[in-house]
Structure 1
Amino acid sequence: MQLDFFPSRALTVYLAKLFVVRILAVLVMLVLVLLMLDLLTTTGKILAVPGNGQSEIWTYATLRAPQLVARFLPYSVLLATIITLVTLNQNSEVIAMKAAGLSAHQVLAPLLLTALIVGVGSFAFNERVVTRATATLKAWDANEFRQVPADSGVRSNVFIADGPDILSAASVSGQGDDTVLTGVSWYHRAPSGALSDQVRGDRATWTGDGWRIENPRRFDVATAKSDSPESLVIGRGVTPEQIRLGSIDPDAQSFWELSRSIDDYEVAGRRTAELRSKWWHKLAGPLSSVLMPLLGAVAAFGLARSGQLFVRAVIGMALGFAYFVVDNAALAMGNFGGYPPLLAAWAPFVLFALIGETVLIRTEE
């Protein structure tokens, strides 16, 4: 196999341009279609809140679009790979390149380099845009699309155990003694383990010895009666530090922020397998774009007139989508401790890189 992977600058630029244009076209198409479908199901919830209007719908769209871009960029690279290589094959351009002495790896090298640049750009985009949009959107959604407190550290959907009791909050803002919980629920259990009573409130603040709920609404399970006491303090064993550790969302934190959160968890003696799996996947996820030209390479070769071009394209697409299925399954296994975090994030990448390289060498080299 020749080691000069870019023997022609003109050919490298030509293939890279073809590939980039198709990646952008497929990505824009996917994001627009999926965003419109998402808006069809969410617009009603947004407009149901008094005061919300068209500006809030646009806000939702601008927050949701980066998530869709991050999630479907690797799919776009896969589909763009298939489209690009099938087009080159049908126009006999692959045959011309191989007749000029280029190996299969040299034909794919410009696409792999482009995919690597896309992967690095995807990582930067996730760090600077997607994590912030995710944190804001989750907090807004948890607050049922009502106005979210103006705080850059808003977190959502927090569940903390205080012995047999459970404290939950739809969103958390502030830090330390200034921590504020909104959408609060308190589940108190009797010594027997059965649910004794439930308390709900719109807002709770730290008093130094528990959380004071504003406008509490209490329901007694035994008597099936409810009341509204003027003042109620709950969760005396739950501190703001526990709230901070319990409100960590890996998808809403950048790579370096998540590193610090993992260190805090380890100091507190808490389990970090799920966070470490997501931490490693912040690197492996964007780099999955590099695999797509390799997995879709089977569509580039073989005679277009042989009738096998469609079959080859389907095989390339099947290999690409099989990677995403295995990747999600491995990440799920890593989240609950079935796989070590490093293995959960990188095993699918390495496995399918070997599969793609094997198929390419056995069929074309």
Structure 2
Amino acid sequence: MNLNFFPSPRLARYTVWLYVSRSLAVLLSLSMVLMMLNLLSESGKILAVSGNGEAELWRYVGYRFPQLIAFAFPFSFLLGALITFTTLNQNSEVVAMKAAGLSAHQLLAPLIAASIGLAGFSFAFNELVVVDGSRQLAAWDGNDYKPVPPDSGILSNVWVTAGDDLVQTRIVTGRGAGVRLRNVRLFERQDNSITRIIDADRGRPYEGGWMLEGVTIYDAGMNVVLRRPALRALEGVEPQRFTLAKVDPDAQNFVTLQRNIGEMERAGVTTATAETGFWHKLSQPLSTMLMPLLAAMAAFGLARSGKVLLRAAVGMALGFAYFVIDNFAVALGNVGAYPPLLAAWAPFLLFLLIGETVLIRSEE
């Protein structure tokens, strides 16, 4: 077996340049189109809030655009690989490379090596840019695009049970004894019926319970509305119940998510969603490495046979099948039907074997 995967550095640089340049062009174009469509759907909600204007629209773009780049990243490199391979095939450059002694794996090796580097960039981009923007956007959207406190630990729209009662808080900030709640709504229930609805502007931990401030109480039994400056409630509800009730893997970096999983395990909270998201943070960027392998069908076969378009369609179908199965496996992992490690890595390993099998049987 010939293990020299880079026999011609010049050809390697040429194919990598074609692959990366076309993929980045697709990524930029696709992200901008998605951004414009998304901004059209959300701009009305943003501008409906008093005081919001053009600056808030640009703020939304700053939060949302990195998310769209991360979403479109593997799709774009699949399309970029298909464009590159189809062009090389139609210009008979693949035939020339194979006539010079290059095997199918030697043709693909530079692109896969470049994809591994791009996967590292994707992981760093997600951890340093996308995570923070996702957290800030979730909190801002959860507060109906009204101003939110500038806190790095923001959670939005959190639900917690307290005995038979239900608690919803729109904004949660801080950790431990420093947890603060904003826009709290407490549903007090008795015999499966709501007896009182308590709305509060703010909440803070206080002597084993919570002190709610700016309180409005609707009493269903007396059908009256009462207002109080403060009210003690939620006895025995620890602050970590609010910080661990909604652990969003997309809004937390790798280290923070790992720490929260440990806290959830100690608190007896189910960790299926958090663990699946934790492992998917590693497998998702590496999906870029699969794209040249799955798109390789478009590179081989004679252009004059008239089957280049069919081969490209098969490569695209393989790529999109991977994304569908990956999302399905993650959904099963989130509900605990799959072990988190299997849910995150099984689609990657499955399509790695499928791509290799197709490549070996058809070209090697």
| TM-score class normalised by the smaller sequence | over 0.9
2:211 counterpart residue number: 212
Query: 2: CA distance between counterparts of 1:262 and 1:210?
Result: 25
Instruction: Compute the displacement of 1:358 (Å).
Output: 0.6
SS for the counterpart of 1:183 is strand
Shift of 1:175: 2.7
Corresponding residue for 2:360?
Answer: 361
**Paired residues, number:** 364
Distance in 1 of aligned mates of 2:320 and 2:216: 49
Structure 1: distance between partners of 2:244 and 2:124 = 26
Structure 1 partner of 2:19 = 19
Which segment is superposed worse, 224-233 or 170-179? 224-233
Q: Distance in 2 between matches of 1:42 and 1:217?
A: 31
Distance 2:194 2:142 in 1: 24
CA distance in 1, matches of 2:115, 2:229: 61
C-alpha contact (below 8 Å) 1:2/1:103 kept by paired residues = no
- Residues 285-312 of structure 1 show CA distances to partners (whole Å, capped at 9, x for unaligned) of 0000001111111011111111111111
Q: Distance in 2 between matches of 1:143 and 1:267?
A: 30
CA RMSD of aligned residues (A): 1.4
Q: Counterpart amino acid of 2:81?
A: T
Counterpart in the other structure of 1:302 = 301
Q: Which residue type is aligned with residue 146 of structure 2?
A: R
The residue number in structure 1 matching 2:53 is 53
Query: Which amino acid in the other structure matches residue 138 of structure 1?
Result: A
1:166 aligned partner, one-letter code: L
* Structure 1 position 100, deviation (Å): 0.7
SS class of match (1:110): helix
The answer on whether the counterparts of 1:186 and 1:234 sit within 8 Å (CA) in structure 2 is no
Letter in 2 for 1:238: V
When the two structures are superposed, what TM-score results if normalisation uses the length of structure 2?
0.96
C-alpha separation in 1, matches of 2:83 and 2:219: 62
- For structure 1, which runs of at least 5 residues remain unmatched after alignment? none
d(CA) in 2 for partners of 1:233, 1:311: 68
The structural deviation recorded for 1:108 is 0.8
Tell me how far apart the structure 1 counterparts of residues 234 and 171 of structure 2 sit (CA, whole Å): 16
- CA offsets 1:242-263 (integer angstroms, 9 cap, x no match): 2222242211111111111111
Give 1:222 shift: 4.7
Q: For the residues of structure 2 that align with 1:222 and 1:189, how far apart are their CA atoms?
A: 12
Residue pair 1:259, 1:279 contacting (<8 A) in 2 also: yes
Q: How far, CA to CA, are the matches of 1:153 and 1:31 in structure 2?
A: 28
Deviation for aligned residue 1:193: 2.4
Alpha-carbon offset, residue 161 of structure 1: 1.1
Residues 350-359 or 168-177, more deviating? 168-177
3-state SS of paired residue (2:187) = strand
Shift of 1:196: 2.4
- State the alpha-carbon separation in 2 of the partners of residues 153 and 347 from structure 1: 32
**In the aligned structure 1, how far is the partner of 2:49 from the partner of 2:272?**
38
Using the alignment, how far apart are the partners of 2:5 and 2:307 within structure 1? 27
**TM-score scaled to structure 1, two decimals?**
0.96
Give how far 1:223 is off.
5.4
Partner of 2:349: 350
Find the counterpart in structure 2 of residue 331 from structure 1: 330
SS of 1:232's partner is: strand
Match of residue 148 from structure 2:
148
Per-residue CA distance 1:102-125 (angstroms, 9 max, x = gap): 111111111111111111110011
Q: Is the deviation greater in 337-346 or in 216-225?
A: 216-225
Q: How does 1:1-365 map onto structure 2 within 5 Å?
A: 1-190=1-190, 192-222=191-221, 224-365=223-364
Distance 2:357 2:3 in 1: 18
Q: Per-residue CA shift, 1:252-282, capped at 9, x if unaligned?
A: 1111111111111112122212111110000
Going from structure 1 to structure 2, the CA distance change for 1:221 and 1:303 (only over 3 Å counts) comes to farther
Gaps of 5+ in 2: none
CA distance in 1, matches of 2:223, 2:334: 39
**Greater displacement, 156-165 / 12-21:** 156-165
CA distance in structure 1 between the aligned counterparts of 2:358 and 2:220, rounded to whole angstroms: 63
Tell me the distance in 2 between the aligned counterparts of 1:230 and 1:104: 74
Aligned equivalents of 1:220 and 1:300: distance in 2? 71
Segment drifting more, 159-168 vs 170-179: 170-179
Secondary structure of the equivalent of 1:199?
Answer: strand
**Alignment partner of 1:25: what SS?**
helix
For 2:221 and 2:319, the matched residues in 1 are separated by 55
Percent of matched pairs sharing the same residue: 51
The Cα of 1:156 is off from its aligned counterpart by 1.4
What are the Cα deviations for residues 116-156 of structure 1, in whole angstroms up to 9, with x where unaligned? Answer: 11111100111111111111111111111111112221121
> How many angstroms does 1:225 deviate by?
4.4
The secondary structure found in structure 2 opposite 1:216 is strand
